[in-house]
Amino acid sequence: MTDAPAACPEPSDRPDIWPGGATRGTDGALAIGPIRLTHEALGDALGAPLAAGPVIVADRASIRGRAEVWQSAMAEAFWSGYGMAGAQVYYAGKAFLAAELVRDLTSVGLGIDTASLGELTLALRAGADPALVGLHGNAKTDAEIDLALRSGIGRLIIDSIPEIERIAARARELGVCAPLMVRVTTGVHAGGHSFIATAHEDQKFGLSLATGAAREAAERIAATEGVALVGLHSHIGSQIMDLAGFGAAARAVLGLRAELLRKGIEVPEVDLGGGYGVAYTGADAVAPTQKQVADFLAETVREVCTELATDIPRISIEPGRSVIAPAVLTLYRVMATKDVVTQEGTTRRYVAVDGGMSDNIRPVLYDAAYAVALANRAPSGDLISSRVVGKHCESGDILVREALLPADVGPGDELAIPVTGAYGRSMASNYNMAARPGVLALDGEAAHWWLRPETVDDVLSLDAGL
Ligand code: LLP
């Protein structure tokens, strides 16, 4: 994380870190389309005042647009007319899921990648085509496996060898054939933080290419009744800006595929995972476009398959963050400000807002940097070095470590933190019995909840003693 204070770029300066419809209107307030980004104006658009606490605002057209661009970029790059076998984009639901989001994404052709009973249940109940739903997990439960097999989802991604027989046994009992992919650990290390880099060897995910575990899993699947090998899978990490790692991983997985083909084992599909990075602040480089990613993957796959003298498999990918993150922002109310003297003897302005680590754990967990902008009026006057902190009982509850905010920011003002669409609400907690914020979808002049805000009663309703 950089500690150099920086003013938040305006939507006109860095459109990539704002929802597609974001502008700063003539009255000085931020807006998405015609709707000003204040709690009051959002309440007006919704038709009911917003309760206390932050609100997560999703620009629906922007999300749909991003999904469509992914879908068409991949379809074009892997078009059969170019000798390819097609492509499929699966949205990684762990980034954020809601039923209406599932419907928006599937209506433009995306599949849904899930990693838990909750995500899988939601995707299916929201109406996703089971054939275009996948299930991940390094510790799948019987309930997850059962739901996956009974609903006929298109792929279960295997993460360990014993899992194969477990799934096969259940599939035989149910009289179905389980479509399995093998998650391959390629040894390629990429990603913004060591917790979110997943393809190096010493971590919990996947089956190693180097030790032969991945090959063994594929061979076992091919030889086991009740399961079918539908593909190989690689996911190397998250928030990756440099495409080279994806190329190296694709090369490794396609190499294993060629080996299996030589042994007569068909591998119709290769999934190259998610992990495509986005910019969060003005200090971040603009991320590669979806078209650049798709073209890069297609070139790599074609080149490697030519070298290996194999056919080209169907390719799938699983972007989460890059579908949704920049199309969503969180709007906080300023509750208090204070000036403190730092250890270096300088003065630092603390700006406390009505949310914090319960709605965005990423700054605390990954040292993730965010930008922050005054939302309800035009920033004016002097900008001073400020730290935006939450309301939780932890001194580490920091949302933005270093920001330049107008010196006159105070209670009554509202702050927007952009790029909160991925791993914000989905990793939210009830720490301090916080009611988790709602996700409000803006659609032209209308606003409606995708996820209604929790109330304290919701939180307390689990307490069996009340
Ligand atoms: N596929 C698999 C198998 C994954 O494990 C993940 C993310 C994705 C796809 C989607 O990755 P994306 O395109 O969103 O980078 N909580 C962390 C990120 C954890 C990612 C976990 N797996 C964060 O907030 O940065």
Q: Take atom 23 of ligand 1 and give the residue whose Cα is closest.
A: 423
pLDDT at site 283: 96
pLDDT of residue 217: 98
Q: Are 400 and 407 contacting, i.e. CB atoms less than 8 angstroms apart?
A: no
Q: Ligand 1 mean position to 44 CA, how many Å?
A: 35
Amino acid type, 403: A
Amino acid 256: pLDDT: 98
Q: What SS3 state is found at 304? A: helix
C-alpha of residue 197 to centroid of ligand 1, in Å: 9
Mutate to test the pocket of ligand 1, among 241, 242, 321 (most ligand atoms within 8 A of CB): 321
Rounded to the nearest integer, the mean pLDDT of the chain is: 95
Question: What stretches in the chain show pLDDT beneath 50?
Answer: 1-2
Ligand 1 atom nearest to CA at 275: 15
**What is residue 391's DSSP assignment?**
S
Residue among 326, 369, 181 nearest 266 (CA): 181
Q: Is 114 helix (H, G, I), strand (E, B) or coil?
A: strand
List the residue whose alpha carbon is closest to atom 24 of ligand 1: 423
Distance (Å, whole) CA 407 – CA 389:
16
Measure the CA–CA gap between 283 and 371, rounded to whole angstroms: 9
Q: Report the distance separating Cα 434 and Cα 389, nearest Å.
A: 15
Does 8 qualify as catalytic in the annotation? no
User: What pLDDT score was predicted for residue 3?
Assistant: 53
Burial bucket for residue 6 (CB in 10 Å: 0-12, 13-18, 19+): middle
Q: Is 448 helix (H, G, I), strand (E, B) or coil?
A: strand
Ligand 1 centroid from CA 290, angstroms: 17
Q: Of ligand 1's atoms, which has the minimum distance to the CA of residue 193?
A: 25
Cα 233 to ligand 1 centre (Å): 14
β-pairing verdict for 22-24 and 30-32: antiparallel
d(CA 241, CA 113): 21
Residue 2: its pLDDT value, please?
44
Q: 274 CA distance to ligand 1 centroid (A)?
A: 6
How far apart CA 28 and CA 45 sit, in angstroms, is: 19
Q: Indicate which residue's Cα is closest to atom 15 of ligand 1.
A: 275
Q: Where are the alpha helices (H) located in 158-289, listed in sequence order?
A: 162-174, 213-223, 244-262
pLDDT of residue 1: 45
CA 291 to chain centre: 18
Which structure tokens are listed for 228?
């079918």
Whole-number Å distance between alpha carbons of 54 and 75: 38
Pocket of ligand 1, beta carbon within 6 A:
92, 94-95, 113, 136, 196, 235, 238-239, 273-276, 318-322, 362, 366, 422-423
Pairing verdict, β 446-451 and 87-92: unpaired
Nearest CA to ligand 1 atom 16: 423
User: What pLDDT does residue 5 have?
Assistant: 67
Note the pLDDT of residue 199.
59
In whole angstroms, give the CA distance from residue 159 to residue 221: 12
pLDDT in the model for residue 92: 98
Under DSSP, is residue 36 helix (H, G, I), strand (E, B) or coil?
strand
Ligand 1 atom closest to the Cα of residue 233 is 3
